[in-house]
Amino acid sequence: MEEGQSGQDPGGPPAGPTSAGAGDRPVPVMADVARLAGVSAMTVSRVLNGHPSVRPETRARVLEAIEVLDYRRNSAARALATRRSETIGVVAFDTTFYGQAACVRGVEHAAREAGYFVSIATVKVVDERSIREAADCLVAQSVEGLVVVTPRASALQELREQTVGVPMVVAGGSPHSGLPTAAADQEAGGRRATRHLLFRGHETVWHVAGPEDWDDARGRLRGWQSALADAGAIEPRVLRGDWSAASGWRAGVELAKQRKVSAVFVSNDQMALGVILAMKQAGRRVPEDVSVVGFDDIPEAAYFDPPLTTIRQDFEELGRRSVGLLLQAIEIGTARSSPAVIPEFVGRLSTADAGRWAGARS
Amino acid sequence: MEEGQSGQDPGGPPAGPTSAGAGDRPVPVMADVARLAGVSAMTVSRVLNGHPSVRPETRARVLEAIEVLDYRRNSAARALATRRSETIGVVAFDTTFYGQAACVRGVEHAAREAGYFVSIATVKVVDERSIREAADCLVAQSVEGLVVVTPRASALQELREQTVGVPMVVAGGSPHSGLPTAAADQEAGGRRATRHLLFRGHETVWHVAGPEDWDDARGRLRGWQSALADAGAIEPRVLRGDWSAASGWRAGVELAKQRKVSAVFVSNDQMALGVILAMKQAGRRVPEDVSVVGFDDIPEAAYFDPPLTTIRQDFEELGRRSVGLLLQAIEIGTARSSPAVIPEFVGRLSTADAGRWAGARS
DNA sequence: TGGTACCGTGATAGCGCAATCACGGGGCTC
DNA sequence: GAGCCCCGTGATTGCGCTATCACGGTACCA
C-alpha cells in the first residue's frame, strides 16, 4: 500500500515479505498454500474452516497444496483474528488422586473431541491464593473457559469473583456453589453406603470423613447422617482424614480401640485401605468383626484384602459433562448444572452381616 | 504525543478503532493503558517485558494504569508477534496411573515456574496413531516443545520422525530412545529388588513384568535377569501384566499354583497388590510363604497388607528434569539426557527370609 | 566546542490469519 | 429478455502486540 496504485509489482507489498525468502522457508504460511494452489489466501482460509461456498474442485486443489507443503495454520494468528483461542483451561488439585486424574482425563477427551485444546494448571495447596494464581495463569493464556475440578467450596467463592470474563464450571464438588456444576450426588452415595451397612444389621455406622471443606466430603457425610437418622441410629463422632491412606490408617487406629465399632463408612477408598490395615493390625478381622465400605471404586479397590465394597463414581463422565456445560456457557452464553449422577453401589467382600460377635456392643 | 505533528486527529487511523468505542470497552488493550499513562504503547510493552531502558517513574505510571484498567496482555497477539507461544505440550498416557500423574504434575510445576504454560493431550491407547495425533494436536497449538511421558519405545520412533520443528524430550522410558530423556534407572531398580530377595535367602525370584513394549517394564526385567545371573540363580518364566491390579492378580493365581514360588518381584505396586491377594486367596501367606516386592512406591503401598516392600521412584522429579531438558533444547537448541536417577529401596513387611518352609521347593 | 555515545521514548511496520466488502457470472423469476 | 440474487472468489483491512528504526536530549570524550 505504500506503493499504492503506482507500480508494476502488485504482488510486491502484500506477498513481498512472504515470498522474499529464496526458498528455504522452514514454515509455510497461508499465502504459500494459496500461491501453490493458484487461489487467494482467503480461499485457503475458507477451505480450512469448512466454509461451504468453495467449489469442490478448488477445495481439492487447496487441500493438496496443504498436503504438499505440510502446512499448518498458525493458531496464534487465528486466535488473534477470531478472538477465540479454542482452548479451555483446567484447574485441578492433586492429580495423583485417582478421581482427579480420571476427571481431568474426561475433560481432556471431551474437549479434544469438541475441537478445543486443553491447558492445565495444578495447584499444590488448596487455598484461594493458589487457585486464583492458577486461574489467572490460564486466563492470561486466553482460555475461553475454565473447568475447576473438585474444589473446596470456599476456594470457589473467591474464584467466581475474580475470573472476570471467562465462563467457569465445576466438575465434582457441590452443586450449590453458584456455578454450573457437573457432580455426582455425594449425599445419595453416602446414604447408600450407610444404608447397606444398616441393612446388614449393624446398629450404627461410623464414618471417616474427608477434609471438612471439600464438598465431596461434606456430601458423603450428610448422606451418612441422613441414613442414620432415618434408621433411628445414633450418630457416632466423625473422624477426619485427608483422603490419604495414611490418614485412614490413623482413623482406623482410633476406631479399632473401640470394640463397639462394627461398621465403618469411609469417605474414599484410599482411606478405607488404611482403615482396614489398622483394624487387622489391632486384631479385628474385616469383614467378620468390622465391615468397611469405601467410596470411589478406584481400580485397585477390587484387589484390596478383602475386596472393598464401595460406591462407584464415574469421574470421567463428570469431566465429560463439565465440558459440555462449559461449551454451552461459551457458545450459548448460559448453562445450568447437569443433573447429578447417582453413584453406584458395588458390593464386594469387605462387609458382612452384624451378629456373629459384632452384636457384643458396648 | 498523539497530537504529534499533524492535526487534531493523528491518533485517528492507528488509535481510531481502539478509541472509537464510546467507553464500554469490556477488555482494555495496550493502547488504552498507554493513553491512560500518557505514554506510547511501545513503552507499555517495554514495561511489561521488563526492558531496562524505561525510567522508573514512567514504569510506575504504566504499572498503575495497568492496575487501574485491570489490563492483561493478549497472549495470542504476543505469540504472533514474537513467534513464541510460551507453551509446552505434554503427551501422557493413562494419567490415572500414579506415576504418570505425578510426572505430569512435576512437568506442570516446573514449566509454570519457568514461565511456560502447559497444554496436555492424553492418549487412550498407546499406539503410534494416537500418539501422533496427540502430538499434532499440540503442535497445531504452536507449543514450543513436547514432553512425552513414559512412552513405549516403539511409539517414540514414530514421533521423532513426525514432529518436525519442535524439540521433544522424554520423561521416563528408556534413555536409549535417541531423544533427550529424564529417566530413572529401571534396571538398577529391578536389580535392587531382586537382590534383596536373593539376600533374604530365596533360591530364585519370579517376576511379574509390565507390558513388553514399555521401556520401564523392560528395564526392570533386565535388572531382574542380571541380578539372577549374578547370583547364579535360575531364571523362571516371566509372567506379563498390564500394570493393573487385575493383571497382577491373574499372574498371582498362576504363581500360587506353583509351590516352589517363594519370592516375586512385581514390576509395579498395583500389580503387586493383585499378586498378594491371589496368593492369600490360594492360602499362601505373605510374607511367610511368599515374599513380594513391588515397584514405584505409590502412596498406598505402605498400607497394603502387608505393607509393601518396594522401589521408590521420584516421578515428580522426573517431570521436573524433563522440563529442564526441554527448556535447554528450546533455548539453547540442544540437550542431552539427564543422568538417570537411581530408584530407592523401601523396605517394609512384604518380604521375609526364606527357609521357614519356603525351603521346600520343587 | 564539536562530535560521539548513549538513554528514554515514539512512530511505523509487520506477525498470519479471517471478516468484510466487492465483483463477475450464471441461474432464476416474471 | 431484463432484472435480480446468489455462488464462488479475491482485495483489503485490522486483530493486539513487538521489532525496528528514528529522534530529541543529556553526558562524555577529544
Q: Write down how long chain A is.
A: 362
Answer whether A122 sits within 8 Å of B109, measured CB to CB.
yes
Q: How far is the CA of B36 from the C1' of D25 (A)?
A: 24
Give every residue of chain A whose pLDDT is below 50, as ranges.
Answer: 1-25, 357-362
Q: Are B308 and B337 in contact (CB under 8 A)?
A: no
Asked if B58 CB < 7 A from strand C, the reply is: yes
Q: Is B4 on the interface with A (CB under 8 A)?
A: no
Strand duo B145-149 + B168-171: pairing: parallel
CA atoms within 13 A on the CB side of A149: 34
- Other CB atoms within a 10 A radius of the CB of residue B332 amount to 8
* CA distance linking residue A19 with residue A35, whole number of Å: 10
Q: What is the pLDDT of residues B198-226, one digit of tens each?
A: 999 999 999 999 998 888 899 999 999 99
Judge whether residue B153 has pLDDT over 90: no
Task: With CA atoms as reference, report the closest residue to B351 among B218, B192, B188.
Answer: B192
Q: Are B271 and B310 in contact (CB under 8 A)?
A: no
- Residues 306-335 of chain A with CB under 8 A from chain B are 307
Task: With CA atoms as reference, report the closest residue to B269 among B310, B212, B239.
Answer: B310
Helix (H) or strand (E) holding A147: strand A145-149
The pLDDT-based confidence of B155 (bands split at 50, 70, 90) is low
Q: What is the DSSP letter of A307?
A: P
Nearest CB neighbour to A245, from listed B80, B124, B303:
B303
Judge whether residue B12 has pLDDT over 80: no
Cα Rg, chain A, nearest whole Å: 28
The pLDDT-based confidence of B22 (bands split at 50, 70, 90) is very low
Euclidean distance between the first and the last CA atom of chain A, given in angstroms as a whole number: 93
Lowest mean pLDDT among A23-32, A272-281, B21-30, B308-317: B21-30
Q: What is the pLDDT of residues B32-59, one digit of tens each?
A: 999 999 998 999 999 999 888 888 888 9
The average confidence (pLDDT) of chain B is 84
Answer whether A101 sits within 8 Å of B102, measured CB to CB.
no
* CA distance linking residue A350 with residue B328, whole number of Å: 51
* CA distance linking residue B63 with residue B54, whole number of Å: 12
How high is the pLDDT of residue A111? Answer: 93
Judge whether residue B304 has pLDDT over 70: yes
Helix (H) or strand (E) holding B105: helix B98-113
Q: Is B299 on the interface with A (CB under 8 A)?
A: yes
The pLDDT-based confidence of B161 (bands split at 50, 70, 90) is low
Q: Are B121 and B89 in contact (CB under 8 A)?
A: yes
Task: With CA atoms as reference, report the closest residue to B182 among B207, B148, B140.
Answer: B148
Over pLDDT 90: what percentage of chain B? 54
Judge whether residue B194 has pLDDT over 60: yes
- Residues 269-288 of chain B with CB under 8 A from chain A are 270, 273-274, 276-277, 280
State the amino acid at position B190 in one-letter form: G
pTM over 0.75: yes
Q: How far is the CA of A72 from the C1' of C2 (A)?
A: 57
Task: Give every strand in the sheet of B206-209, ordered side by side.
Answer: B239-240, B206-209, B263-266, B291-293
Helix axes B128-140, B153-162, angle to 10 degrees: 40
Task: With CA atoms as reference, report the closest residue to A90 among A19, A164, A33, A143.
Answer: A143
Task: With CA atoms as reference, report the closest residue to A338 among A181, A185, A219, A202.
Answer: A181
State the amino acid at position A194 in one-letter form: T
Strand duo B344-346 + B310-312: pairing: antiparallel
How high is the pLDDT of residue B3? Answer: 34
- CB-based contacts of A104: which residues, under 8 Å, 6+ apart? A90, A92, A95, A120, A149, A319, B95
